[in-house]
Structure 1
Amino acid sequence: MPLGAARLNTLSKVLTTAAATRGGFVNITSFGQVQLSNAQMKFSTGTRGGSILFDGTGDYALADNQPLFPATDDFTAECFVYFTDTSGDKAIFSQHGDSGTSNAGSRFFIAAQSNNKVDVYLRNSGNSDWSFRIFGTTTISTNTWTHVAVVRNSNTFTLYINGTNDGSASSSDSIIQSDFAIGALSNNGAYDLLGYIDEIRISDTARYTGNFTAPTSAFTPDVNTKLLLHGDGPYGSDGNFHIVDDIGDLRPIDVHIQTAYTVGSGSAPSISTAQAKFGSSSFRMNDNSGHCQFPTPEWGSELTLEFWFKPDSTSAGLQHMSGVWGGSPHGGFNHLISLSGANVRCYVFGGSTFRLNNVLIGTISNTDWHHVAITWDGSTYRTFLDGTMGATSSSSDAPGFDQHQVTWVGTVGGTSDTFAGYIDEYRQSKTARYTANFTPSGSQFTNDANTQVLLHFNGTNGDTTTTDDAS
């Protein structure tokens, strides 16, 4: 299941991807206007297809201090690329190090040259000469999809174009362990690519040792997959920056605090030690469209959505606190939890209609910490405020789900009705944890087999990062 990362609207954007074999996530910063596009695609996954667009004017994605090419071990780097212009040099992947020579190892990159052929370069660690250069012989056409793969098998590097060996070279040199980049050289952004890339996969094994049939469908993740980007997702008229990494159902889930905002004013959201339900910190929202977000896990046959909140006021207007809401640019609709004055309300959309339609969960009388929950046991939706059941609805339809949906915490997409206050202990589970009145937990939640997302919002004051507790 492809999982979405961050939709950011600044020129420098944080895209988060996951690496199954690393047991965590690779943080990638993109530059320029790297974004999803449905203008061209090689394959589609699920309900929406697309690719990643690079406009040739400073567009590239960079993994700061995150090498994806190992120093000396086997690997496979591959993708489908659709060049719209091949004049000049166009980098596909690179691990090129600093502009100086302080980093140990050899600079490595894969690029289309002005002669419409793909070359592979490894420069020696002293930066004085080339360890090798593979000069491809196959002419690459513009406006067509081409599969490009480079494999390191022991000390042999082989370039494959559409599954056919297009040149090889040998070297025992170590590849520099520095930034990994897509669409340009990692040290200076040169050789920026003009066109589209689809099905980017980096693997820690030599997947091809001879000629092969180029892939005929989208890749699926396995234990050797370090990075897998399908380029699929929802599209908005203003572009969409949910760069999607397919890691199946692995945890920890990627969590991102979006500090840039276009709605409201005040301070950006962050971890705050001013208030906490449990521990020493929580997530502070300041009534703007900054927020915390994560790729929505697929619903099971049951579910629970819950969190603690502490509002600044019980007399403010409508304040959306969490949900998947906002139409195509934000991944569609399925649920929304809001505070309207002192009334806590929610929507759930499933099948083809609302299963809960702006229903009243309960009313708060103060700005203390309050617990809110929605559960579904496969036949009945139930809502709870501070353990007391509110509105219910009978339905066998789960909330709507799209594989590229992103859950927002602190507000929702496409709205100016933002939240001011604190949120703590956000948890999504694949079981109905509550079916009758209950006493909310007196301590922070712990991860278990039914937990799909667990956010404690632990950290130091002002932090703009947080993690999913998968321990």
Structure 2
Amino acid sequence: MAALVMAWTNPSQSPPSGGGALYYSNGNIGIGTTTPNSKLTVQGDLKITGTSTFDGSISVYELSSAPSAVIGYGKIYALTGDTEYTADSYTKLLLHMNGTNGSTTFTDSETTPKTVTAVGNAQISTAQSKFGGASGLFNGNGDYLRVSSTDFDLGTGDFTIDVWMRANTWPAAGCATPFQIGNYFNNWIQPEICYTGTLLRTYTTTLQYNYYPSGGFLTNTWYHYAIVRSGTTMKQYINGLEISSGTNTESILNGTQGLWIGAYSGPLQFFNGYIDEFRISKGIARWTSNFTPPHNKGLYFKSSSGEEIQL
């Protein structure tokens, strides 16, 4: 795994003393000039004292053995942490993806639980999670979940669909689909990430939304994705940042295909990675502007392009 280095880059000022760089490599964190070989452990409060403050930016380097080119800048901040979603009257599906490692039982945690069918080798994994210590694992080769309910007849009203996803790989040719609701190109909605993560393309019945993220979607990185309709305005968000907005009055229906998670029902496109906290909300636009998605407690780095890494 390449190291992440955050170094002082304000050319008009001298950096703070003590090395001027924070290193993150293979789960280890250090401050100084060398790559750390052990965890940073703090008992009690961590305090930094002094009378001087410095204005500047933080540059990000990828390291193998020596720093390479600057690939961005950003900020470090701490979040107190959130818990898993709880269901309310608008929640029509809530999959925490919790359970025993290797289990094929996926539990719907809303007020009218639905039957979730695991297809292929779709299973619970404790190797990665955003919340709860587990997530759904999909191997990109025939794995997906199926759920069908008239509760997914979202119609032309307000709705919110949001999910955490972490890809092991993005296909070099073709696309990977985190989910689909409805019949193929008929009262449906389906996002897909294509061409090694360089394109997010989202379909409704007659409309298509394209988003090209700066630097592409990374592998082994958690992303929060949300698609929201409020009135006649449909928006998409990645990690709480709005990436598209447009008019959409199309009806979205469960149809004969219902909900697929980890694939879609047309020319099969499978997602290879982990999915956590999948939620469908009907009759409510949970977000209409930029927001901070739920997070685990910890220290985070966010780049200028919106990529977020938990340190």
Residue pair 2:168, 2:272 contacting (<8 A) in 1 also:
yes
Gaps of 5+ in 2: 1-109, 298-311
Aligned pair 1:429/2:300, yes or no?
no
Aligned to 1:343: 198
For each residue in 1:181-211, what CA deviation from the matched residue of structure 2 results, as whole angstroms up to 9, or x when unmatched?
A: xxxxxxxxxxxxxxxxxxxxxxxxxxxxxxx
Aligned to 1:359: 210
Aligned pair 1:322/2:179, yes or no?
yes
What is the CA distance between 1:252 and its match in structure 2? 0.9
Aligned to 2:84: none
The runs of at least 4 consecutive aligned structure 1 residues that moved more than 6 Å come to none
TM-score normalised by length of structure 1 = 0.35
Distance 1:402 1:252, change over 3 A: closer
Aligned length: 180
Counterpart of 1:334 in 2: which secondary structure?
strand
Distance 1:386 1:343, change over 3 A: farther
Aligned pair 1:254/2:115, yes or no?
yes
2:272 aligned residue (399, 420, 430): 420
Aligned to 1:25: none
For each residue in 1:430-463, what CA deviation from the matched residue of structure 2 results, as whole angstroms up to 9, or x when unmatched?
A: 211111111111259xxxxxxxxxxxxxxxxxxx
For each residue in 1:364-422, what CA deviation from the matched residue of structure 2 results, as whole angstroms up to 9, or x when unmatched?
A: 24421111110000210000111111111113x14432554411000111323211101
Supply the AA of the counterpart residue of 2:192: S
For each residue in 1:319-341, what CA deviation from the matched residue of structure 2 results, as whole angstroms up to 9, or x when unmatched?
A: 1111136639xxx4511121112
Q: Percent same amino acid at aligned positions?
A: 25
Counterpart of 2:246 in 1: which secondary structure?
strand
CA RMSD of aligned residues (A): 2.6
- Write the distance in 2 (CA, Å) between the matches of 1:346 and 1:440: 21
Aligned pair 1:302/2:158, yes or no?
yes
Highest relative contact order (Cα 8 Å, sep 6+), 1 or 2?
A: 2
- Write the distance in 2 (CA, Å) between the matches of 1:269 and 1:339: 19
Distance 1:315 1:281, change over 3 A: same
Aligned pair 1:377/2:226, yes or no?
no
Aligned to 2:137: 284
- Write the distance in 2 (CA, Å) between the matches of 1:405 and 1:366: 29
Supply the AA of the counterpart residue of 1:281: A
Distance 1:386 1:342, change over 3 A: same
- Write the distance in 2 (CA, Å) between the matches of 1:407 and 1:327: 11
2:258 aligned residue (406, 426, 442): 406
Counterpart of 1:275 in 2: which secondary structure?
coil
Aligned to 1:42: none
Aligned to 1:313: 169
TM-score normalised by length of structure 2 = 0.52
Gaps of 5+ in 1: 1-248, 260-267, 445-471
Supply the AA of the counterpart residue of 1:410: G
Distance 1:402 1:294, change over 3 A: closer
- Write the distance in 1 (CA, Å) between the matches of 2:254 and 2:276: 26
Distance 1:334 1:403, change over 3 A: closer
1:14-29 matched pairs, under 5 angstroms: none
Aligned to 2:291: 438
Supply the AA of the counterpart residue of 2:158: E
- Write the distance in 2 (CA, Å) between the matches of 1:373 and 1:344: 16
Supply the AA of the counterpart residue of 1:338: E
Distance 1:306 1:399, change over 3 A: farther
Aligned pair 1:393/2:246, yes or no?
yes
